[in-house]
Chain A
Amino acid sequence: MSFISVFNVLGPNMIGPSSSHTAGAAVIAYLAQKMITGPLKRVEFTLYGSFAKTYRGHGTDRALLGGIMGFHTDDIRIRDSFAIAKEEGIEFRFVENHVEDEVHPNTVDIRMENTGNQTMAIRGESLGGGKVRISRINGVEVDFSGEYSAVIVIHRDKPGVVAHITRCLSERGINIAFMRLFRENKGHTAYSIVESDGTLPEDVAASIRENANVHDVMVVGL
């Protein structure tokens, strides 16, 4: 059983009203924006289940937009995130999906596009108490919580890539807490997600990128 801190009981410090519908939503979007190099031009949120039904009253929309701009759960600017996004020139849209019911009740798909026309699609689930799970990246099923600093490597599913990643990490003395590889099909694009106990230095991404089979590297943490 993982450690329950006194600050998991008295906390999170958060903008209300709901740890699942507000704080969790902000966390998902915060993690999502870490996976694309900014600045963002456009973002679309597709809401499912309870998110789709109650998002206005819970401020889920403001929290998602705040998170996308890098606001933490206790950032009072979440309340005014619509106005701030407009000022920053970010186009945003919320789509309600009431049809799909084979999803966790608090699920959101986030489609981001940056000013360099790169796109990235993330699916996140808010599990309660501010805890979240990222369950898809660009349509590939993944699983990570964001509670640990993580490095996400998009690469070709070829021998030697994982060894290269672990070597880069061990050279920096980084202790791996969890490591998992997700892929669509054998030999195609794969997503390796490594979660570490400590904070990950930004330069680790550059050295992982040196391998020819690596497409992209993202360092993600709260």
Chain B
Amino acid sequence: MMDFKNAVELLALCRGGNLSISQVMRRREIELGEISGIEADEKMRRALEIMKNSAQKPIENPTRSMGGLIGGEAQKLAAHWQNGRGVCGPVLSKAMTYAMAVLETNASMGLIVAAPTAGSAGIVPGLLLALMEEYDLPENRVIDALYNAGAVGYLAMRNATVAGAVGGCQAEVGVASAMAASAAVELLGGTPEECLGAAGTVLMNMLGLVCDPVGGLVEYPCQNRNAAGVANALIAVEMALAGIRQLIPLDEMMAAMYAVGKKIPAELRETALGGCAATPSACAACKACS
């Protein structure tokens, strides 16, 4: 049976069958989800289409969010780097723009794919769409990469948490970034070990990040953190592809993230009682927007 409980078992399946992570995850879906490969790929293609639309629309047509805290950031970023003034380089400039765009779509009641959550929905599409365009990759490869991202997200859902209310922002944006990093490594020709190494690196570098949404809304700082998430993912991808090996494997990082998450005080787990949400400026903005 093509199933796995942790990263060690996933890597064993990859090695045993000479398979990529995306191939293992796709076969698992077919076997345990009881659907055909064609149906699964069709659903994934639909997810990719929604991701593309949600990343594009705010660049052309900015919309103010429901809570009024964000809107227009993606268009500003796009104008900035399209004028040749970008400092991050083409992949990251594009990726952060798309990531912020998806969060704008989300906050203005547009259609998105939770990846793994709505508040972290910008990171996986942001990075993968930027790579697809900059490296001129065919869509089928990106669909494969989404299965890879799904494998890492599944491990987090199974063995830790992806809920900000349980584990803080590290569980949402952190996991989304780990998913994006692993998928990007596969997309760029890395091995399964390198994929999961990159995922672990991201969790390490985002460990302890709190969930402190202003006004309790999925707007601010969530949108900024999605941009930070793609940057963290990209750093980890670069390290993994350069052959840097991490001391701590993904399963252990996942357990550490979960343990840290449970120690984060309730004020900093989506309750809007601490962190950014409790600053005077945030409180003043909430009065203005409600």
Contacts and interface: CB of A to CB of B under 8 A. Distances in A.
B109 interface: yes
B152 to A, nearest CB: 8
B106 A50 contact: no
B118 A53 contact: no
A9 B216 contact: no
B168 interface: no
B116 interface: yes
Contacts, number: 136
Given A13-B46, A18-B218, A54-B217, A74 B111 contact: yes
Interface in B235-287: none
A5 B118 CA distance: 17
A103 to B, nearest CB: 16
B114 A11 contact: yes
Given A1-B158, A9-B157, A10-B44, A128 B25 contact: no
Given A7-B43, A9-B150, A57-B215, A14 B112 contact: yes
Interface residues of A, number: 35
Interface string A48-76: 00100110111100100000000000101
Interface in B34-77: 40, 43-44, 46-47, 50, 65-67
A17 interface: yes
B47 A13 contact: yes
A9 B152 CA distance: 9
A6 B50 CA distance: 16
A5 B163 contact: no
Given A17-B218, A18-B118, A4 B157 contact: yes
Interface of A: 1, 3-19, 22-23, 50, 53-54, 56-59, 62, 74, 76, 78-79, 128-130
8 contacts: A5-B29, A10-B113, A14-B112, A15-B109, A17-B218, A129-B114, A129-B163, A130-B114
Interface of B: 25-26, 28-29, 32-33, 40, 43-44, 46-47, 50, 65-67, 105-119, 121, 124, 146-147, 149-151, 153-154, 157-158, 162-163, 165, 179, 215-219, 289-290
